[in-house]
Amino acid sequence: MFQEIIKNKLLPAVTLTDAHSALSVAEALLEGGINVMEVTFRTSATAEAVRAIARELPEMQIGAGTILSGDQLSAAREAGAQFGLSPGFNKRVVEKAQEFEFPFIPGVSTPSEIELALSYGHKLLKLFPVSDLGGIPYIRSLEGPYRHTGVRFLVMGGVDSSNLRSYLKSEMVAAAGGSWLTPSDLIRENKFDQMSKIVRESVTLADQI
DSSP 140-199: HHHHHHHGGGT-EEEE-SS--TTTHHHHHTSTTEEEEEEGGGS-HHHHHTT-HHHHHHHH
Of 38, 96, 143, 197, the active-site residue reads 38
pLDDT at 96: 98
pTM (2 d.p.): 0.96
Is the previous residue joined to 129 through a cis bond, with omega within 30 degrees of 0? yes
DSSP code of residue 58: T
**Regions of the chain short of the pLDDT cut 70:** none
- Which pLDDT does position 128 carry in this prediction? 98
Catalytic, out of 126, 143, 169, 191: 126
Is 126 annotated as catalytic?
yes
Task: Please say if 96 is a catalytic residue.
Answer: no
* pLDDT value at residue 19: 84
Domains of the chain with CATH codes: 3-207 (3.20.20.70)
